[in-house]
């Protein structure tokens, strides 16, 4: 269902009688939550684009141990959006719904899963967005249609009070990256012409051919313009000479 960094300790935690845990949801919440995540502002401070828009802007979604956005390391590298893998079964919606309800009702409980649901709801506006995450291995959809997955996160976010948001830096970084127009152009070139060596060679040949034709046409246009200018001057002199006579 959900990969956790504490998978090896869940059995021991469940079988020991620890007075620090008041409810089974407390054990599950503490187990599956990433403890190195820190809350940011009260709610998302920017509107982050959906997954398909980010992919078009050059962002590469990858499976990761935690939610993070990594900027590209060079002009020919892509930004990386890492999110833990989620297996979507019929039991996922009540599982996450119970954890979110636990965060909403109990004072002082970190609202990590509420933040996660809001993040995923923002990324998956349409079935196309779900397919992007499925292709990256972030979502393993066992529900059937991709629309069911997008509706799942939308249903989880109905009527919640977010409060602290754990992925503020991630959403700001993704939104800022998407705003840069140069990334859109580079992303389109990479996805269309730089995926294989053959497409790159074809692109180079086509670009060189285009430049040669453009230079040839531009040179020809300059000669025509120069000839037209000289012709106009000659015609003007002839007319002036006829008027004088």
pLDDT attached to residue 178: 86
Q: Is residue 74 part of a domain?
A: yes
189 and 218 part of one domain:
no
* Same-domain check for residues 40 and 148: yes
* Surface-to-core class of residue 210, CB atoms within 10 Å of its CB (0-12 exposed, 13-18 middle, 19+ buried): exposed
**Do residues 103 and 110 lie in contact, with contact meaning Cβ atoms separated by under 8 Å?**
yes
Do 151 and 218 sit in the same domain of this protein?
Answer: no
Is 17 contained in some domain?
A: yes
Specify the number of domains making up the chain.
2
Per-residue pLDDT tens listing for the chain (245 residues): 555 555 544 444 444 445 565 778 888 888 878 777 777 665 555 788 999 999 988 899 999 988 999 988 876 788 999 999 999 988 889 999 999 999 998 888 889 999 999 999 999 999 999 999 999 999 998 887 878 888 898 889 888 888 888 998 899 999 988 887 555 566 666 666 666 777 777 777 777 887 777 666 655 555 445 444 544 554 454 555 555 55
- Structure confidence at residue 62 (pLDDT): 94
Whether residue 133 lies inside any domain: the answer is: yes
Q: Are 66 and 161 members of one domain?
A: yes
Same domain flag for 65 and 156? yes
Q: 151 and 220, same structural domain? A: no
- Within a domain: 5: no
pLDDT of residue 72: 85
Q: Which two tokens stand for residue 107?
A: 């004072």
Do 66 and 118 share a domain, yes or no? yes
pLDDT at site 83:
95
On whether the CB atoms of residues 132 and 140 are closer than 8 A, the answer is no
- On whether residue 132 sits in a domain, the answer given is yes
Distance (Å, whole) CA 62 – CA 68: 10
Do residues 113 and 182 both lie within one domain?
Answer: yes
**Does one domain contain both 88 and 164?**
yes
From 150, 165, 193, give the residue that closes a domain. Answer: 193
SS3 content of the chain, % helix, strand, coil (to 5): 55, 10, 35
Asked, for residue 71, whether it belongs to a domain, the answer is: yes
| Same domain assignment for residues 118 and 64 | yes
- Measured between alpha carbons, how far is 154 from 127 in angstroms, rounded to an integer? 12
Q: Residue 199 domain-assigned?
A: no
- Is residue 54 domain-shared with residue 151, that is, in the same domain? yes
Are 173 and 57 within 8 A, CB to CB?
no
d(C-alpha 139, C-alpha 128), whole Å: 13
Claim to verify: residue 161 and residue 124 sit in the same structural domain = yes
Is 205 domain-assigned?
no
With beta carbons less than 8 A apart as the criterion, state whether 104 and 50 touch.
no
Task: State the residue range of the domain holding 91.
Answer: 10-193
pLDDT at 23: 78
């Amino acid at each position: 269902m959900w990969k956790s960094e504490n998978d090896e300790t869940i059995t021991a935690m469940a079988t020991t009688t620890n007075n620090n845990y008041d409810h089974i949801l407390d054990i599950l919440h503490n187990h599956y939550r990433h403890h190195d995540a820190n809350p940011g502002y009260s709610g998302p401070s920017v509107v982050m684009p959906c997954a398909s828009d980010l992919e078009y802007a050059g962002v590469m979604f990858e499976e990761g141990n935690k939610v993070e956005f990594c900027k590209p390391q060079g002009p020919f590298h892509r930004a990386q959006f890492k999110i833990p893998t989620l297996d979507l079964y019929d039991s996922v919606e009540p599982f996450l719904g119970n954890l979110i309800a636990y965060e909403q009702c109990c004072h002082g409980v970190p609202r990590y899963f509420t933040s996660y649901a809001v993040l995923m709801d923002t990324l998956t506006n349409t079935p196309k967005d779900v397919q992007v995450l499925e292709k990256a291995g972030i979502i393993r959809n066992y529900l059937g249609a991709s629309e069911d997955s997008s509706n799942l996160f939308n249903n989880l976010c109905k009527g919640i009070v977010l409060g602290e948001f754990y992925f503020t830096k991630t959403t700001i970084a993704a939104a800022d990256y998407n705003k840069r127009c140069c990334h859109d152009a580079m992303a389109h070139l990479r996805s269309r012409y730089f995926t294989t060596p053959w497409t790159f060679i074809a692109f180079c040949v086509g670009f060189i051919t285009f430049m040669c034709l453009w230079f040839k046409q531009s040179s020809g246009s300059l000669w025509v313009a120069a000839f037209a200018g000289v012709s106009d001057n000659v015609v003007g002199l002839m007319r002036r000479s006829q008027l004088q006579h």
